[in-house]
Chains A and B, each alone.
Chain A
Amino acid sequence: MNEPKRIPPASQMRELIAALALAGLPHAANLAYGPVALFYLMLAYRYLAIDRPALLPGKKLLISAALAAAAMVWQQSGGIFGKSAGSALLLAGVGLKLLEMHDRRDWYVVVAAAYLLALTQFLFSQAIPMAAYLVAVVVMLTAVLIGMHCGKAAVPLPLRLRQSAALAAQALPLAALLFVLAPRLPGPLWNLPQDKTATSGLSDRLEPGSINQLGLSDAVAFRVNFNGAPPPQNRLYWRGPVFWWTDGRRWEMRELPPLSNAAAAYSGTAVDYSVVLEPHGRNWLLALDLPQQFPADGHLSGDFVLLAKNPVNDRRLLRLRSYTDFRYPELSAAEKRLGLQLPKESSEALHRLVAQWREGRDDAQVVRQALAYFHDNDFHYTLHPPLLTERPVERFLLETRRGFCEHYATSFAVLMRLAGIPARVVTGYQGGLWNDVGEFLEVRQSDAHAWAEVWLNGSGWVRVDPTAAVAPERVERPVVAEVVSVDGGRGVESDSNGFSLAPWVLPAKTLWANVDHGWHRWVLGYDHNAREKALQWLNGGHWPKTLGWLSLALLGVSAPFAWSLWRSERLQTRDPALRSYQRFCKKLDRLGLPRRSSEGPQAYAARIARHLPRLASQAHEITDIYLRLRYGGESGSGLLEALRIKVRRLK
């Protein structure tokens, strides 16, 4: 028996087109315009062609269109591999395939491709709203699929949507179980070209004078859970790239020999914490300085930056231990040379300034003098500093005196070098917003910061944050932020126009951040390591126990199902009258007189009267009440109760 290759009707084509339009929608934000436009053009064209089949193109035209589409993707995405190019190719391919659907197999191909299309969206965004949206898309696609297998009975779309939503809901526990327990391979299996979409508030170059507007992205850089109490806000310096060499305008990194972990002397209490790091496309792992324990694929650079072996292109969960009190080893000759490097063109005015500070004082006192200079003079912290084209450091320090952290950190470092104190500029993130609900710290791109470090004999490298001297709020923000209003307005809780937000916005934001963090930490951050941990937690090393847990979980997942199946076996209906009548039939079945499947209630009653005359009147009464309740349009608990009692009394 072969199923006829029936092509589904026009209504299903409309549904399929609608489902595809929904499935491809988020790609409008991810991909080049060409493939997206082609896709929606094809959908619209196919929609028009439903009633006008003559519009559908022939094979030759389709093949050339496919080649043209592939060429367009190649040209716009620079290849056909990688997630952008692959998704674009899929999008264009599905659009064209719509024009060439002849039999059931073609429908299957399109539906499968549509599921795949939904999947590719996750490669671009794994946010909660996207996940919810794509679940809706999957439900819609599945409803189309159900429509293809309902036969001639045209089941209306809302009913099918309900069926497919029920299917998804029933599948969810099993899917979750598979998600937690299915073995994972540490990916990637092969290296795909990475699309450079990751962004960071940090950069591998520093050029303070050339920027006169610092964009404050609200995007999350990473989130931190502390085991135990979090360190005070003014110790939360998350260390990123360190800059050594400058030409007076630009700062660059220098590679130093890696630091041996044992060389540092830690003191104070350790901070244990885990970081969910958003992908940023670079190797920096942004640890709290100074990390002592970190993942195996990380290493500490000579300037104490925790670096990963590969760029962070996926969200990572890091478990770290850091000390905020520590002492560095000796200053090497190379470090000393780099730490004192000065731009070729020197500034007389600055030399004079530094010489005035020195006047026989030691290094630590010079540092204090410099900070006092920043504090006492008319310096302002602003995100919109004037552009500095000529001699930026000198003009900033002596004339404009307006800038943000990078201006302060770099000019401070230059001053220190002029005074003969080795100095370097460190970038990273400072602070973060404490989430009271989830008890975690959320660090955003707008928390990017720059500070300086100087070498003081006897103390080693010491962090000096000149921005703190100017705008202490920038560094010592209260743990749960209130509206901070500095020159230029750098309040996290005021929107870009400077208006403060409604009072409920902050709690709502905090709550949402908490949900989002949980999502990142428990759903998106679940990897083969986490799975092993989960399994270990489950079995404590014993397989029988694991099996026990597993079967328990499976039981839990399948129990609702078994229950519904069992119920449908047992209770054939919810109509109480019918239920009573079935009980009546069952009783007679036990008496050896089962009701025949073709027999109506009255015929059955007549047969009972013939074969079991003693029950004749009872059977007739029961049948009569039952028929009145079920078919006579009568209702009433009294009648129902009578039926129930009569059935019960029947022996």
Chain B
Amino acid sequence: MRLPRYPFARRRKPSSAPLTLGQRNIYVFPNRWGWSFAGLILLFLLVATNYNNNLSFLLAFLLAAMALISAVHGQRNLAGLVLKPGKAGAAFLGEELPFTLLLGDSRQRPRFALQIGFKEGVSQELSLPAGDDAVVLTLRPRQRGRCNPGAVVVESRYPLGLFRVWSRLAFDWNGLVYPAPASTAEPLPFASGGDDPGSNDGGDDFSGFRAYQAGDAPKRVHWKSYAQGRGMLTRVYRHGGQKQLWLDWNAATDDGVEAKLSRLCRWVLDAEHSGQVYGLRLPNREISPDRGLAHQAACLEALALFQR
């Protein structure tokens, strides 16, 4: 059992490798119920002394010993767990940012009532039968850019609730926080008045089919072939003649960097949603026009990391 050093716990370097919970990183300290229980035992001893009652003494000592040993059981409930950083997600500012934490068990023991979460996020309860698991932890970030979620806190009050048994582990992983999309809609900034964004489908030259990708506009799916059982195909158009949509830093008329980024973010989402081909032009970076989820993610990442 490790003596409590909670306020002075050494900050360890964030790790990208799996970390195993053990004597070095598990802390045990009585909580409020634990202190109350100590008070209860004192009361027992008082009664026992006053009535000179030896079995009361024995009961008091038995409960005290059970409390102490429950701390060992609590420590064992955590010891041997292997935590490994999994996929760090992405989210818009203001939303929950998900991180996948992989849980392994070097001792193949059932684990009870684990509370896992980020220090500043919401924790969730988890009981594991002996074996591996994964848990998605979330955090509500305060600013855009790369986000390290801070320490993962694993804690438990098993078995008697008298002790808080916990461990704080810092991992080297970063989620991506996009700017929050502007809340008011503004038309997409087509260059020189351009085409009507709604009618460009028919204007492009049809160039063939490709396999359906998630995010392709339903309009472009070749439903006929799908109905014939040939799978989902998407029509591909050559957009050489099309006027390109550039989401330009300068076209955003909002004040301030963050507001401009929010506007651009909204445009990226709108453009992708309507199936446009679009490019992104930031003062320090340019992403050539394309469409699809990967393209959108690249654009959003550029926005997220702008000047960061």
Cβ contact within 8 Å between A190 and B59: no
Residue of B nearest to A130 (CB): B55
B49 within 8 A of A: yes
- Selected A-B contacts with CB under 8 Å, 23 pairs: A3-B115, A3-B157, A115-B63, A116-B43, A116-B44, A123-B51, A126-B54, A131-B58, A138-B59, A142-B66, A149-B160, A153-B112, A167-B159, A174-B65, A187-B48, A188-B49, A188-B50, A192-B51, A314-B51, A523-B58, A568-B80, A597-B18, A598-B102
Stretch from A48-56, A176-184, A197-205, A241-249 that touches the partner: A176-184
B125 within 8 A of A: yes
Q: How far is the CB of B52 from chain A (nearest CB, A)?
A: 5
The 0/1 profile, CB within 8 Å of B marked 1, for residues 91-125 of chain A is: 00000000000000000100010011011101100
Cβ contact within 8 Å between B159 and A1: no
From known contacts A112-B36, A526-B54, A568-B107, infer whether A1 and B66 are also in contact, taking CB-CB under 8 Å: no
Q: How far is the CB of B275 from chain A (nearest CB, A)?
A: 38
A175 within 8 A of B: yes
From known contacts A163-B159, A179-B57, infer whether A151 and B112 are also in contact, taking CB-CB under 8 Å: yes
From known contacts A115-B63, A172-B65, A188-B52, infer whether A146 and B125 are also in contact, taking CB-CB under 8 Å: no
User: Which chain B positions have C-beta within 8 A of A524?
Assistant: 54-55
Measured CA separation A145–B162 after assembly (Å): 10
Q: From residue 236 to 285 of chain B, which have CB atoms closer than 8 A to chain A? A: none
User: Which chain A positions have C-beta within 8 A of B127?
Assistant: 150-153
Cβ contact within 8 Å between A1 and B62: no
Cβ contact within 8 Å between A116 and B40: yes
Q: From residue 513 to 539 of chain A, which have CB atoms closer than 8 A to chain B? A: 523-527
Cβ contact within 8 Å between B73 and A167: yes
Measured CA separation A112–B109 after assembly (Å): 30
User: Which chain B positions have C-beta within 8 A of A527?
Assistant: 52, 54
Cβ contact within 8 Å between A123 and B44: no
User: Which chain B positions have C-beta within 8 A of A134?
Assistant: 55, 59
Residue of A nearest to B56 (CB): A122
Cβ contact within 8 Å between A314 and B161: no
B148 within 8 A of A: no
Q: How far is the CB of A193 from chain B (nearest CB, A)?
A: 12
Cβ contact within 8 Å between B114 and A167: no
Residue of B nearest to A139 (CB): B66
Given contacts A122-B56, A187-B50, 14 further A-B contacts (CB under 8 A): A1-B123, A112-B37, A116-B40, A134-B59, A138-B62, A138-B63, A155-B112, A175-B62, A178-B64, A182-B57, A314-B53, A523-B54, A524-B54, A561-B69
User: Which chain B positions have C-beta within 8 A of A3?
Assistant: 115, 157
Q: From residue 82 to 121 of chain B, which have CB atoms closer than 8 A to chain A? A: 82, 84, 102, 104, 106-110, 112-115, 117, 119
Cβ contact within 8 Å between A182 and B61: yes
The 0/1 profile, CB within 8 Å of B marked 1, for residues 370-404 of chain A is: 00000000000000000000000000000000000
Measured CA separation A157–B96 after assembly (Å): 38
Residue of B nearest to A573 (CB): B108
Residue of B nearest to A188 (CB): B50
B147 within 8 A of A: no
Cβ contact within 8 Å between B62 and A171: yes
Measured CA separation A134–B48 after assembly (Å): 16
B153 within 8 A of A: yes
A502 within 8 A of B: no
Measured CA separation A565–B26 after assembly (Å): 15
A236 within 8 A of B: no
User: Which chain A positions have C-beta within 8 A of B153?
Assistant: 1
User: Which chain A positions have C-beta within 8 A of B112?
Assistant: 149-151, 153, 155
A262 within 8 A of B: no
From known contacts A175-B62, A572-B106, infer whether A149 and B158 are also in contact, taking CB-CB under 8 Å: yes
Ranked 5 nearest A-B pairs via Cβ = A151-B113, A153-B127, A171-B65, A174-B65, A178-B61
Most chain B CB within 10 A, of A134, A153, A168, A188, is at A153
User: Which chain B positions have C-beta within 8 A of A172?
Assistant: 62, 65
Residue of B nearest to A314 (CB): B52
User: Which chain B positions have C-beta within 8 A of A149?
Assistant: 112-113, 157-161
Q: How far is the CB of B15 from chain A (nearest CB, A)?
A: 13
For chain B, the bracket of interface size reads 35 or more
Residue of A nearest to B157 (CB): A149
Cβ contact within 8 Å between B69 and A122: no
A253 within 8 A of B: no
User: Which chain A positions have C-beta within 8 A of B54?
Assistant: 126, 179, 523-527
- Residue tally, chain A, CB below 8 Å to B: 59
Cβ contact within 8 Å between A572 and B160: no
From known contacts A168-B66, A175-B61, infer whether A1 and B117 are also in contact, taking CB-CB under 8 Å: yes
B188 within 8 A of A: no
Cβ contact within 8 Å between A146 and B159: yes
B46 within 8 A of A: yes
User: Which chain B positions have C-beta within 8 A of A192?
Assistant: 50-51
Measured CA separation A126–B37 after assembly (Å): 24
User: Which chain A positions have C-beta within 8 A of B65?
Assistant: 171-172, 174-175, 178
User: Which chain B positions have C-beta within 8 A of A150?
Assistant: 112-113, 127, 158-159
The 0/1 profile, CB within 8 Å of A marked 1, for residues 223-243 of chain B is: 000000000000000000000
B209 within 8 A of A: no
Residue of A nearest to B22 (CB): A569
User: Which chain A positions have C-beta within 8 A of B144?
Assistant: none
Cβ contact within 8 Å between A115 and B157: no
Residue of A nearest to B130 (CB): A573
User: Which chain A positions have C-beta within 8 A of B161?
Assistant: 108, 145, 148-149
Cβ contact within 8 Å between A170 and B69: yes
Residue of A nearest to B102 (CB): A598
B70 within 8 A of A: yes
User: Which chain B positions have C-beta within 8 A of A572?
Assistant: 106-108
B33 within 8 A of A: yes
Residue of B nearest to A578 (CB): B108
Residue of A nearest to B106 (CB): A572
User: Which chain B positions have C-beta within 8 A of A296?
Assistant: none
User: Which chain B positions have C-beta within 8 A of A122?
Assistant: 53, 55-56, 59
Residue of A nearest to B116 (CB): A1
A185 within 8 A of B: yes
A61 within 8 A of B: no
User: Which chain B positions have C-beta within 8 A of A182?
Assistant: 57, 61
Cβ contact within 8 Å between A108 and B155: no
Cβ contact within 8 Å between A179 and B108: no
B47 within 8 A of A: yes
Residue of B nearest to A151 (CB): B113
Measured CA separation A573–B107 after assembly (Å): 7
A463 within 8 A of B: no
Residue of B nearest to A526 (CB): B54
Measured CA separation A490–B66 after assembly (Å): 49
B72 within 8 A of A: yes
A83 within 8 A of B: yes
A189 within 8 A of B: yes
User: Which chain B positions have C-beta within 8 A of A170?
Assistant: 69
Determine which of B46, B56, B115 lies in contact with A189 in the assembled complex, contact meaning CB atoms within 8 Å.
B46
Q: How far is the CB of A131 from chain B (nearest CB, A)?
A: 6
The 0/1 profile, CB within 8 Å of B marked 1, for residues 579-622 of chain A is: 00000000000000000011000000000000000000000000
Q: How far is the CB of A130 from chain B (nearest CB, A)?
A: 8
User: Which chain A positions have C-beta within 8 A of B123?
Assistant: 1
User: Which chain A positions have C-beta within 8 A of B48?
Assistant: 119, 187
User: Which chain B positions have C-beta within 8 A of A131?
Assistant: 55, 58
Cβ contact within 8 Å between A123 and B56: yes
User: Which chain B positions have C-beta within 8 A of A185?
Assistant: 49
Most chain B CB within 10 A, of A168, A175, A523, is at A175
B68 within 8 A of A: yes
User: Which chain B positions have C-beta within 8 A of A175?
Assistant: 58, 61-62, 64-66
B211 within 8 A of A: no
Cβ contact within 8 Å between A115 and B40: yes
Measured CA separation A138–B41 after assembly (Å): 14
Measured CA separation A174–B62 after assembly (Å): 8
The 0/1 profile, CB within 8 Å of B marked 1, for residues 238-261 of chain A is: 000000000000000000000000
Measured CA separation A182–B44 after assembly (Å): 14
Q: How far is the CB of A455 from chain B (nearest CB, A)?
A: 41
Q: How far is the CB of A492 from chain B (nearest CB, A)?
A: 29
